Every structure is written in C-alpha cells, then in structure tokens.
Structure 1
C-alpha cells in the first residue's frame, strides 16, 4: 500500500486535529444511534453531514490528502440524505463509522510517526459504489452500502460474496454494538438468532431484542456509557430466554395469573441467567439478566434487592423492558410511545431507578420531539 508522509506541522496543530476528529467521531456515533430510532429526523441528518464536512475540511487544512476524496463522496451521499433525495438506510451507519475509523487510524499514525499507510484501491472501490447511489434507485441502496461495508471490513461478510444483499447480517439494524472482538460478535449473533423463535412463542412483537438494545445504547450514551455496551447487548437479547421454558397456557394467559402461575413465570429469570452460567465472558450480562425485575424499593424479584445492590445495567433494562411491553403489548391495547413514557413515570415512581428514569425521560423527549 502507498505511504503518505506529511509536511512538518506544529505539535499543537496535530494535537488539536486528533482531538477534534475524536470529538466528531463520538458525536457522529451518537447521531447515528438516534437516526436508527428516528431515521427521518432531518436535524440529525444535517448534523451527520456537518460532522463529515468538518473532518474533511480539517484534513484539507493540514494537507492530509489521501482520505479527502473518499470523505468528499461520503459527504455527497449525506447531502442527498439531508435534502430528502434518498432515505436513511441502516447500512449508512456502518459505512460512516467504518470510514471515520479509517480516518482516525490514518491521522493517529501521521501524528505519531509522521506517515501513514492508506489503501487507495479500497478508497476508489468505495467511491465507485457511493457514486452508484442516487435518488432513482432506492431499492438498491441497502445492497450497495452492504457491499461497501464488506469491502472495508470483510469480517462483516457472513455469507459468500455473491450472496444476495438481504442475506447479509446487518449489525446497524440489529442491537449489536460495533468494535467487538470476533468471539463477542459470534456470541451476540448467536443470542440474537436464538431469541427470534422465543419472542414468537412468547407472543412478543418481532424484533423485541433489537428494539430494547438500540434504545439501551442510546440512553447509556447519554450518560457517557458507564455500562459496557457488549454486556448490555447480551442482557437485552437473553433476559427473556427463560420464557421459552414456561407453559404456553401460562405465558399467553389473558386472565389474572394464580399465585402458583405467577411464581412459575417469575422463575424465568433463573433460567435466562443459566444460559450464561458457564460463559465467563458474559458474567456482567448474567447479573443484569438476573436482576432486571428487581426494583429499587425492594419490591421486585427474585431476591428483593434494593437500589444500591442492583447493577446499572439491570436498572436500565427494567425500564426498557416495561416500556417495550407497553408499546408492543401481547393482548391489551397498545399505548403510544408518549403515553408509555407517562405511564412508566406514574406507575413506577419510587420503584425504578430515579437516575436512569431521568435519562430515559431525557432520551425519549429528544426522540419524540416531533
């Protein structure tokens, strides 16, 4: 691969450059999480465009030329998005972040050693794909973007290269975080697939795990991500695994449960946690699963833990589990997202974590502002 050597620059300039790129990367990551939840939000679309435009401009100011052309074409793609000429698609998230990763690595290498390798052939191939996307071929966009993503990071290609685009697992559309180890990614994809028939058997709306995980990442990010994203993702997917071992007539019962049936249903947390029992990689996720029905006043189950003894992941999952149950109910009337937020605040005041409930309210206020 060709090597780029930059001209002598003052340390302060290089330091400011890498600092701004890191800030813009983090801002873009947050924007993309919000776009996954509200893909037609033009304010978010414009914010993403501005971040890429600013990074491209910064590289131009210091003459870090090799990455400018591919960023220009990414900017052009996002310009079509913000003008409403194309729709946001899930694979855009992966493409934006992967290209920003490339830029970060390139700049960090330049700052550290005065030079950096870059793959001009890869950049040209990605540009060619981006150029094929326009307002007249929307049905092809996901496939084209998936192709670009797999060129940049071949490990994302879980099927043969000539497989149809719809068969490529899309991590952006799922609740699976990026930058995982290969072992973590394999486990998470397994847990996600495992839960699909369980969600169906339990009568949940399809994609429950994905919905809860994506919203969990968003709210966790509002608090600077104190909860490990990978552990949180596993907990979001497997916390209801034990439901599959419950009698269908109990799980789907429309009338009030007897005391015996209620205790039986509550035992699902033990069965869910046992799925992770021998997987030391997911010890923290197992704790979240075990505690996600605990309430801060001690009235939850299975152990009646109080606030300080419940982990943050379980506190957040408790809120989102209840929220998704209200907007995607099994039997009772579906609540609007706004009404679901109001219901949770009213009915669970003093029972759910005040700290995480405030962050949930903040996040939902932003997401529901339109």
Structure 2
C-alpha cells in the first residue's frame, strides 16, 4: 500500500466517489446497529454475516472508485471479522469500539475529501497501520491493542466519562452590583427556555458554559468571564424568534431555511445591544458564526476582525452540535467524533483557541 494514497488520497472519478460517499452514509448506521447486536448476542450468525457483508461491500465500493484509503481501512476490519466468524477471536468491547472508530474516520475522511479539506488531524496512517497490526495479534492481546490504537488515533482514552460537569462559579459576578447578577439570571432563564424546546437540548447551556469558561481559563482569561457567560446564555436565543420548523428541523435544510437561520445572531445581539454594560457580550453573540477565512455569517468577517469570545463560542457551539448529531452512536463515539470534527476544521475555527479547548477536554477526561 502506497502511504501517500492514505495520507493524501486523490479522487480519480468524482461522480463515482460521491456515490461511494452516499453508500457509506447509508451503511454506517447498519454497521453500528450490527455491532450493537453482536455485543449482546455474539453467537448470532445472521448478524455476523450482515456485518461482514456490510464491511465487504464498502471495501468493494472503494475498490471500484479506486479509493485506496477506503480499501486500506476496511480490509483489516474484514480480516478481523473473518477471525471472529471462525471463532478464533471474540468481538471484545475494545475491538467493537475500534471497528466503529475506523468506520467513523472513513466517513470523516470521505466528507473532508468531498469538501476539499485536509486530513492531517484524522491520523489516518496511524489508523491503517494499527489496524493491520491488530489483525495479527493473538486472542489475548486484541483488547489491549485495540484500546492503545484508539488512544493513538484520537488522543483520548477509549472510555470517556461524562464531560458535562458543573460550570465554574463566577465569583466576580456574585460580588459585583445587583444589576449584573440580575441580568445574568435573566439571560440564563432565556437560555433555559431555549433548552426546553427540545429534550435533546437538556443540559446544553451548562455544558457550553463550563467548556467556555475552562477554555478561556486555559487561554489565560483573554475574555472577560462575565461577558462570556452572558454570551453563552444568549448566543442562540435568537433561534426562538425563527419558525420552529426551521431550527428544530430533522434532516437537511433548504437554501431558504439557511437564509432564515443566519438571522439568529443578529436578533440576540440586538437585544443585548439595548442593555447598557453588555457591549462585549453583544459582539461575541453577533460574531459567533463568523470564520477566520471569511466564510462565516452574518458579515463575512476574517480572523483579525472576530473577537476572542466569539472564537471560543464558535468552537464549543460546534462541538456541542456534533455531539448532539451523533449522540445516538453512544457517548464515547459522539465525543470522539466531535473532537475529530473540530480539529479537522482548520479554516472554520481560530487555531489559537483549538489548543486550549483540547487541553480542557483532555483534563476533563483524565480527571
């Protein structure tokens, strides 16, 4: 296998490749379902055959469109499944997690190639070589080797605790005048109203607040924590001024939906702007969907024009969104997927805040 075809794959036929991507999107949930079934009923021959067939079909599709990375990832999984089918090895918890991670990385790589994004943060050569090594491991070492490879690829242990710990208390807000504390309580009540619109949002505000405070702290408190707290509470409140059919929509948004959605930062910022003392928070809320490369909204600002608080919010808001999107895959995978997507978007987020954010996630997990 040519390492360059793994590290920097080339799309030879875009139409065929997009068909591969569509098929992968359809098959990935089937693989997750079959792995979950086999964890409960490892002796089920029908599910074993279904899983083997799904992996084999992805490999065949990758070969047809000459996507060597797809073959390189699926071939060792197919080999491990053959060993499992023959009773040579069990489908241990770590081996199951490794299979799911490999398919997930293949999805991310495929999406990145279609969008012309870099693949460096996915650590694909490490994954491919590690998968090949695991296929050769004796039964007794499969579990440990799988766990080591998961951590080598993701940078995080394969078992992740709940990252939604309590938010850091803001003593400054409590010790200052009544108006600030009263405003924050009101802002928080609005955020909780937003949360109540969907059961999937439960706990969202405090998760984002904790990560925002800790990321700011890891970045030497470059942002006023009180202003940042207000921005966390209000950054998405403008959604409630849009039709629920748009921002609670399941599935892809239409072009018209996206135009409507781009109004929500302005609504929330407009409310804050009319309250004295919250100018910095207003700026954060207005800019939290801007991107360093100028591809964000509503004003297409570039890196130097975006305030640090908005850059923090952009990272954490995206992390939370990916977590929510993939939570059906389980906590471990949704966290690892969210971390991978945030770190893969080199143009969407400010690089100076990615490292502090990663530090926070790592410390939370290690604690």
Give the Å deviation of 1:338.
Answer: 2.8
Give the Å deviation of 1:294.
Answer: 0.3
Q: Secondary structure at the match of 2:361?
A: helix
> Which of residues 336, 339, 348 is equivalent to 2:337?
339
2:172 — aligned with what? 179
Give the Å deviation of 1:173.
Answer: 4.4
Cα separation, partners in 2 of 1:295 and 1:327, compared to 1, 3 Å: same
Residues 77-156 of structure 1 correspond to what in structure 2 (within 5 A)?
none
**Residues 1:355 and 2:358 are matched in the alignment:** no
Distance 2:304 2:217 in 1: 22
Report if aligned partners of 1:238, 1:272 keep a CA contact under 8 Å in 2.
yes
> Which of residues 209, 214, 218 is equivalent to 2:205?
209
Give the Å deviation of 1:259.
Answer: 1.1
How many residue pairs end up in the alignment? 198
Report if aligned partners of 2:219, 2:353 keep a CA contact under 8 Å in 1.
no
Q: Deviations over 1:59-81 (max 9, x none)?
A: xxxxxxxxxxxxxxxxxxxxxxx
Distance 1:223 1:253 in 2: 35
TM-score (norm 1): 0.50
Give the Å deviation of 1:240.
Answer: 0.4
Distance 1:284 1:367 in 2: 28
Higher mean alpha-carbon deviation, 348-357 vs 248-257, is at 248-257
Give the Å deviation of 1:213.
Answer: 1.1
> Which of residues 318, 334, 338 is equivalent to 2:314?
318
Q: Deviations over 1:120-142 (max 9, x none)?
A: xxxxxxxxxxxxxxxxxxxxxxx
Distance 1:218 1:195 in 2: 19
Q: Secondary structure at the match of 2:292?
A: coil
Give the Å deviation of 1:328.
Answer: 2.8
Distance 2:257 2:226 in 1: 33
TM-score (norm 2): 0.51
Distance 2:360 2:167 in 1: 19
**Residues 1:306 and 2:308 are matched in the alignment:** no
Distance 1:250 1:336 in 2: 24
Greater helix content:
2
Distance 1:282 1:246 in 2: 23
Report if aligned partners of 1:204, 1:329 keep a CA contact under 8 Å in 2.
no
Which consecutive residues of structure 2, in runs of 5 or more, have no partner in the other structure? 1-164
1:274 — aligned with what? 270
Distance 1:222 1:328 in 2: 25
Distance 2:239 2:326 in 1: 14
Report if aligned partners of 1:195, 1:238 keep a CA contact under 8 Å in 2.
yes
1:367 — aligned with what? 364
Distance 1:246 1:217 in 2: 28
**Residues 1:283 and 2:279 are matched in the alignment:** yes
Distance 2:168 2:363 in 1: 20
Cα separation, partners in 2 of 1:330 and 1:267, compared to 1, 3 Å: farther
Distance 1:283 1:225 in 2: 18
